Chains A and B, each alone.
Chain A
Amino acid sequence: MAISTGDFDFIRKLVLERSAIVLEPGKEYLVESRMLPLLHKEGLESIEILVGKLRGGTKNGLADLVVDALTTNETSFFRDIKPFEALKGHIIPDIIEKNKTTRELTIWCGASSSGQEPFTIAMILRNDFPQLLNWKINFISSDISREMLQRCRAGKYSQLEVNRGLPAMLLVKFFERVGTDWKVKDDLLKMIQFREINLAEPFPVLPKVDVLFLRNVLIYFDVEMKRSVLGKIKRVLKPEGYLFLGAAETTMNIDASFERLPLPQSGCYQLKG
């Protein structure tokens, strides 16, 4: 299924307006492959018909679905493992030491997607750091997609999803079966506050953040938007807070105030002292 230049431009503008995500020419294949399941689901025969409906504005919510399909990534629990090993072995112990008088910990996941990342972090906190049980934990997890946030709040995963990267021991401890699905137990679900935040817009008022996960998000933005987002992050992050980017992402040539920590393959940054 080939996409016409006009239809590609239309979708490109739509995604840019709604999410600040840049689809450069050459990404036609991405639009085509991501639209296929949506066309199937909506019973539409071609991208041309889909764009026709978007232009006509005849179906509410269709634009949201298109943006979601293009901005949501496949994910899994403990994705890439290394960042979570760094979190468990180095970062959380460090913050526990630093914040021992305030007994407060603030974590922000800036792109929850379907929730595997925030729930992975929550499981690590509960499973490996029982001493945090009587701390005040501000755990914010945000996304631009309402559909994804709804999924997160429900905390339900299919068998295929819990098969991906989730240690069986944690499945047993933190999930329960509900019909064909596996649901995150309430205790864990309640730790996290799910909020709609568009990173391209001014950030809402947030407590100063100890750990910020923003993996594989910046890659979608152009350099100006990357710089703007990192600028806002600097203001919300504690001076000694930690920022996680995707292993293939970098602040280099965009913002000189961050330095990458020597934690292997973790994509972890701090502000230069």
Chain B
Amino acid sequence: MRALVVDDSKAIRRILSQMLSSIGFEVSEAAHGKEAVEVLAASDPFDLGLIDWNMPEMNGFELVCEIRKNSKYDNMRLMMVTTETEMSQVVKALEAGANEYVMKPFTKEMIYEKLSLMGLPVSP
């Protein structure tokens, strides 16, 4: 399983990458939407994207829209992991094609439970 973690905070990228690699994911990182688009174009397909909302260059909402425009990424599960916690934002992200949504702050349990909900394997 391959995952792409997109967040402008290096600390958050590290924490999420660690959580995913400890359950067997091969993880790549990007610091904003634009970099994520480049990583996507240059790599094998990803099974999962964890995406922050507020980032420089291209934000996470725009990134979700961009990814969902391309049928090549139809199998990629997208989960927002963001400090945006208004109901309207959750709705907006789901309508744009995000599969799940986690509001920061998060714990390992929250991330793993959501992965299970999306049918992804969560075993060490």
Q: Which residues of A contact B (CB under 8 A)?
A: 76, 78, 81, 159-160, 162-165, 167-169, 171-172, 175-177
Contacts of A76 in B (CB 8 A): 109, 113
Chain A residue at smallest Cβ distance from B85: A159
A225–chain B nearest beta-carbon distance, Å: 31
Q: B86 an interface residue at 8 Å Cβ cutoff?
A: yes
Contact indicator A163/B106 (Cβ below 8 Å): yes
Contact indicator B90/A164 (Cβ below 8 Å): no
Q: Can you report 11 residue pairs joining A to B where beta carbons are below 8 Å apart?
A: A78-B117, A81-B117, A164-B109, A164-B110, A167-B100, A168-B90, A168-B98, A172-B87, A172-B90, A172-B94, A175-B87
Binary A-proximity of B81-104 (CB < 8 A = 1, otherwise 0): 000011100110110001111110
B101–chain A nearest beta-carbon distance, Å: 4
Docked Cα-Cα span, A165 to B115, in Å, equals 9
Known: A159-B85, A163-B103, A163-B106. A172 touches B113 (CB 8 A): no
Chain B residue at smallest Cβ distance from A79: B113
Q: B18 an interface residue at 8 Å Cβ cutoff?
A: no
SS class, residues of chain A in contact with chain B: mixed
Docked Cα-Cα span, A165 to B114, in Å, equals 6
Q: B22 an interface residue at 8 Å Cβ cutoff?
A: no
Docked Cα-Cα span, A47 to B98, in Å, equals 48
Known: A172-B94, A177-B86. A159 touches B103 (CB 8 A): yes
Contacts of A78 in B (CB 8 A): 113, 117
Q: Which residues of B contact A (CB under 8 A)?
A: 85-87, 90-91, 93-94, 98-103, 105-107, 109-110, 113-114, 116-117
B103–chain A nearest beta-carbon distance, Å: 5
Contact indicator B91/A165 (Cβ below 8 Å): no
Chain A residue at smallest Cβ distance from B86: A177
Contact indicator B102/A163 (Cβ below 8 Å): yes
B22–chain A nearest beta-carbon distance, Å: 19
Docked Cα-Cα span, A176 to B102, in Å, equals 16
Contact indicator B94/A81 (Cβ below 8 Å): no
Contacts of A165 in B (CB 8 A): 113-114, 117
Contact indicator A168/B87 (Cβ below 8 Å): no
Contact indicator A168/B94 (Cβ below 8 Å): yes
Chain B residue at smallest Cβ distance from A168: B101
Contact indicator A172/B103 (Cβ below 8 Å): no
9 tightest Cβ-Cβ pairs between the two chains A and B: A168-B101, A165-B113, A163-B110, A177-B87, A168-B100, A167-B117, A172-B91, A159-B103, A163-B103
A230–chain B nearest beta-carbon distance, Å: 30
Docked Cα-Cα span, A172 to B90, in Å, equals 7
Contacts of B117 in A (CB 8 A): 78, 81, 165, 167
Contacts of B101 in A (CB 8 A): 168, 171
Known: A163-B106, A164-B110. A81 touches B116 (CB 8 A): yes
Contact indicator B87/A176 (Cβ below 8 Å): yes
Docked Cα-Cα span, A177 to B102, in Å, equals 15
Contacts of B90 in A (CB 8 A): 168, 171-172
A232–chain B nearest beta-carbon distance, Å: 33
Chain A residue at smallest Cβ distance from B98: A168
Docked Cα-Cα span, A104 to B111, in Å, equals 38
Chain A residue at smallest Cβ distance from B114: A165
Docked Cα-Cα span, A164 to B100, in Å, equals 12
